[in-house]
């Protein structure tokens, strides 16, 4: 069930989705031919001018770019992979050449996007492709494609899809207070913070305090990816409180993750930037009836040491999300290269490893219509890392360039120079991603570290961290970010040393034990329990400002014999995205009813209403932004298929 909120452009036409007959399989592999039927050219109006365009029968253009879309329903009980091959072409016409050239649309080798999609327990094969191709440099129309279906043995990847029967936020579970964080790290909550939340600290027992939250960044858009349902309890440390009273000098420490997540990508790390929120939310719970979860100490590995670790993988990203180039989509851009075509970006990395290269990845977008006479050049000092032409496209072209700097230093200035062939060509910086190796030296008040080089089956790593304040400092293992552990280390000279199994990648955070990050108060949370809602015909999700009007609409439908649930978007976020804004949380909420009705299809929701105005900017960067209800924006411009 794909209940996705999509902002459509009313000026664009979308192809009709035809559900055709079933594909059957009697052998391990089968083939199918898809014919593309071309029609007579037509006249398109673009603003105040007209242009003759090629036509594919039954298809429409997405903006100016030609696209062929095809879908077919297939059997649910057959598991297969599907690949597309170019079968035949026919000569392109002068109209084709003229249309593509006038709209700056590049045509290259055959490339079809073929995927499997599930909707309401039905399986579909869907295909999108550019219907033109170049063969030996000659433009051709694609006339047929061969789809190859290869049967496979299904691999049972168990993913818990059941939703909890009740939310931890339900009535009778104590008092709840929402807080937010913007950075990864150890956070501190003191007595004045609790009092400002409205908590009666005078009668508070430290054993009654827990912190809930998921810290998983934006939700995965694919339904097959696992995620935490409702809210996870996090292990915390309470300093003091042994006397059963939360005194002035007592405080809480907990490890929290910000809104943007990092994950392993090849030999380095990549950031998944949250398009909806710049903060991550957690919940303080005061409940005498709940079991406290506290950080415990983990002993050193007793296995033989195989790797000595004195360096770790360092990564950072420079990115400013200021400008949407197309007034839509998830991608936002930063610096503009127009009046300033040469700009510099500084990276300070104390204790950087001089024996390992620094890896840069730079993403830009350009409105250049032609690459001739253009250039994007990247230098550090007098060394040119890369030089290539600017990307081109019918609107904005995008390029992602990877480059290596083999002689890194603690202070590196990456210079970006843009050469354009016309004054109206604009170039925007998306981001600069940097991966390097760094000495395991404590700096600042806390550092997080992990080491890819020591990971392997049967490996045991000995970490030597220098510079950690011995009297107050400590190290937590935060591989399981919900349940950190205190690392049991020892002092060897000026180093803090500990051993850990390195069969999988493990993450740690070291603190000086003095200065910590501090969360931001959001507000108290009224008890709620969306997870306990029963089957329903009509779901209405609205902003809290419109709850009265939404209830009036619900009453109308109830009088017509329908069952209706009216909930606020904030309630949905609290239970389905850990209190953080996320459009996918709305789909997850609706999907809960769908999944629970597998055995009784008649209980499935019939309608979902998103009640309230929306915008492509969930972070309120544009003026007069009616940001009441989140909309789902695609990452890049392409054909969007929504199956209900």
Give, in order, the Cα–Cα distances in Å from 314 to each of 400, 445, 474: 21, 17, 20
- The answer to whether residue 539 scores a pLDDT higher than 90 is yes
Rg of the chain (C-alpha set) = 28
Q: What is the CATH number of the domain that holds 435?
A: 2.60.120.260
Mean pLDDT of 501-506: 96
Is 167 a domain residue? no
- Per-residue model confidence (pLDDT) at position 346: 98
Is 495 a domain residue? yes
Instruction: Name which residue leads in pLDDT, 10 or 134.
Output: 134
Mean pLDDT of 585-608: 93
Mean pLDDT of 513-529: 98
- Per-residue model confidence (pLDDT) at position 428: 98
Same-domain status, 271 and 187: yes
The confidence band for 47, taking pLDDT boundaries of 50, 70 and 90, is: low
Alpha-carbon distance 507 to 529, whole Å?
34
Domain that holds residue 196: 175-301+440-521
Lowest mean pLDDT across 103-112, 140-149, 210-219, 353-362: 103-112
Is 236 a domain residue? yes
- Note the pLDDT tens digit of each residue in 158-183: 444 579 999 999 999 999 999 999 99
Same-domain status, 278 and 205: yes
Same-domain status, 210 and 272: yes
Mean pLDDT of 620-632: 93
Is 614 a domain residue? yes
- Per-residue model confidence (pLDDT) at position 642: 31
In total, how many domains does the chain have? 4
Is residue 532 within 8 Å of 526, Cβ to Cβ?
Answer: no
Same-domain status, 179 and 276: yes
Same-domain status, 297 and 444: yes
Lowest mean pLDDT across 2-6, 74-78, 261-265: 2-6
Alpha-carbon distance 352 to 436, whole Å?
7
- The answer to whether residue 23 scores a pLDDT higher than 50 is no
- Note the pLDDT tens digit of each residue in 450-462: 999 999 999 999 9
Is 14 a domain residue? no
Mean pLDDT of 204-212: 97
- Per-residue model confidence (pLDDT) at position 50: 79
- Per-residue model confidence (pLDDT) at position 151: 82
Alpha-carbon distance 332 to 275, whole Å?
9
Q: Which domain-ending residue is among 469, 497, 521?
A: 521
Lowest mean pLDDT across 45-59, 208-222, 350-364, 445-459: 45-59
- Note the pLDDT tens digit of each residue in 69-89: 998 888 877 778 889 999 999
Alpha-carbon distance 369 to 390, whole Å?
9
By CB neighbour count within 10 A (0-12 exposed, 13-18 middle, 19+ buried), where does 228 fall?
A: middle
Is 141 a domain residue? yes
- The answer to whether residue 384 scores a pLDDT higher than 70 is yes
Mean pLDDT of 379-386: 96
- Per-residue model confidence (pLDDT) at position 636: 62
The confidence band for 7, taking pLDDT boundaries of 50, 70 and 90, is: very low
- Per-residue model confidence (pLDDT) at position 161: 56
The confidence band for 337, taking pLDDT boundaries of 50, 70 and 90, is: very high
The 3-class SS string of 374-421 reads CEEEEEECCEEEEEECCCCCCCCEEEEEEEEECCCCCEEEEEEEEECC
Same-domain status, 189 and 296: yes
- The answer to whether residue 444 scores a pLDDT higher than 70 is yes
Q: What percent of the chain has pLDDT over 90?
A: 75
- Per-residue model confidence (pLDDT) at position 348: 97
Alpha-carbon distance 187 to 255, whole Å?
6
- Per-residue model confidence (pLDDT) at position 157: 45
The confidence band for 602, taking pLDDT boundaries of 50, 70 and 90, is: very high
- The answer to whether residue 499 scores a pLDDT higher than 50 is yes
Is 162 a domain residue? no
3-class DSSP assignment, residue 531: helix
Sign of torsion over alpha carbons 630, 632, 633, 639: negative
Mean pLDDT of 99-103: 82
pTM of the model: 0.83
Same-domain status, 487 and 537: no
Mean pLDDT of 261-288: 97
Alpha-carbon distance 137 to 147, whole Å?
25
Q: Which domain-ending residue is among 470, 491, 521?
A: 521
**What is the overall mean pLDDT for the chain?**
90
Same-domain status, 500 and 432: no
Is 24 a domain residue? no
Same-domain status, 40 and 146: yes
Alpha-carbon distance 441 to 466, whole Å?
5
Same-domain status, 278 and 198: yes
Same-domain status, 431 and 333: yes
Q: Which domain-ending residue is among 151, 167, 187?
A: 151
The confidence band for 48, taking pLDDT boundaries of 50, 70 and 90, is: confident
- Per-residue model confidence (pLDDT) at position 262: 97
Give, in order, the Cα–Cα distances in Å from 302 to each of 13, 507, 508: 65, 19, 19
Same-domain status, 50 and 199: no
Alpha-carbon distance 144 to 451, whole Å?
49
Instruction: Name which residue leads in pLDDT, 3 or 598.
Output: 598
- The answer to whether residue 368 scores a pLDDT higher than 70 is yes
Mean pLDDT of 337-342: 97
């Amino acid at each position: 069930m794909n209940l996705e909120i999509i902002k459509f452009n009313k000026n664009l036409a979308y192809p009709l989705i035809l559900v055709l007959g079933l594909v059957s399989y009697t052998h391990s592999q089968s083939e199918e031919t898809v014919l593309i039927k071309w029609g007579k050219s037509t006249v398109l109006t673009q603003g105040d001018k007209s242009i003759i365009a090629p036509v594919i029968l039954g298809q429409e253009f997405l903006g100016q770019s030609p696209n062929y879309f095809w879908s077919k329903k297939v059997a649910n009980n057959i598991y297969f992979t599907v690949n597309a091959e170019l079968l035949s072409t026919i000569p392109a016409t002068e109209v084709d050449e003229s249309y593509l050239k006038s709209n700056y649309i590049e045509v290259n080798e055959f490339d079809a996007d073929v995927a499997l999609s599930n909707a309401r327990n039905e399986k579909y094969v869907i295909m999108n492709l550019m219907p033109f191709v170049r063969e030996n440099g000659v433009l051709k129309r694609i006339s047929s494609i061969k789809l190859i279906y290869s049967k496979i043995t299904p691999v049972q990847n168990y993913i818990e899809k059941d939703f909890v029967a009740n939310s931890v936020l339900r009535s009778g579970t104590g008092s709840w207070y929402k807080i937010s964080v913007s950075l990864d790290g150890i956070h501190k909550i003191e007595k004045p913070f609790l009092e400002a939340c409205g908590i009666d600290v005078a009668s508070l027992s430290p054993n009654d305090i827990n912190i809930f939250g998921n810290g998983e960044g934006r939700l995965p858009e694919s339904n097959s990816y696992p995620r935490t349902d409702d809210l996870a309890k996090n292990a915390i440390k309470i300093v003091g409180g042994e006397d059963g009273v939360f005194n002035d000098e007592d405080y809480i420490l907990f490890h929290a993750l910000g809104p943007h997540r990092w994950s392993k990508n090849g030999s380095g790390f990549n950031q998944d930037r949250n398009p909806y929120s710049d903060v991550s939310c957690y919940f303080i719970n005061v409940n005498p009836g709940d079991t406290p979860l506290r950080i415990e100490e983990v002993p050193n590995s007793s296995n033989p040491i195989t790797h000595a670790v004195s360096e770790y993988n360092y990564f950072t990203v420079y990115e400013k999300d200021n400008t949407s180039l197309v007034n839509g989509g998830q991608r936002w851009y930063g610096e503009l290269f127009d009046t300033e075509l040469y700009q510099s970006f500084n990276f300070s990395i104390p204790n950087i490893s001089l024996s390992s290269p620094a890896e840069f990845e730079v993403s830009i977008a350009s409105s250049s219509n032609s690459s001739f006479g253009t250039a994007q050049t990247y230098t550090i000092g007098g060394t040119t890392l890369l030089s290539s032409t600017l990307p081109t496209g019918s609107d904005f072209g995008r390029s992602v360039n990877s480059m290596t700097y083999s002689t890194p230093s603690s202070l590196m200035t990456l210079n970006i120079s843009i050469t354009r062939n016309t004054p109206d060509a604009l170039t925007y910086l998306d981001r600069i991603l940097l991966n390097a190796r760094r000495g395991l030296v404590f700096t600042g008040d806390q550092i997080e570290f992990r080491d890819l080089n020591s990971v392997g089956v049967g490996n045991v790593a000995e970490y030597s961290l220098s510079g950690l304040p011995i009297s107050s400092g400590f190290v937590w293992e935060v591989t399981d970010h919900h349940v950190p552990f205190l690392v049991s280390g020892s002092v060897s000279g000026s180093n803090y040393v500990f051993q850990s199994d390195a069969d999988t990648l493990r993450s740690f955070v070291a603190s000086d034990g003095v200065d910590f990050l501090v969360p931001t108060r959001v507000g108290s949370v009224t008890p709620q329990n969306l997870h306990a809602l029963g089957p329903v015909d009509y779901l209405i999700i609205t902003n809290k400002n419109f709850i009265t009007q939404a209830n009036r609409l619900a009453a109308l439908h109830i009088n017509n014999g329908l069952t209706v649930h009216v909930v606020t978007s904030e309630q949905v976020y609290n239970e389905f995205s850990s209190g953080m804004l996320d459009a996918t949380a709305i789909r997850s909420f609706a999907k809960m009813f769908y999944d629970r009705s597998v055995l009784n299809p008649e209980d499935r929701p019939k309608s979902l209403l998103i009640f309230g105005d929306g915008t492509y900017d969930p972070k309120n960067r544009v003026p007069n932004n009616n940001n009441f209800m989140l909309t789902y924006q695609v990452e890049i411009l392409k054909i969007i298929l929504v199956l209900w």
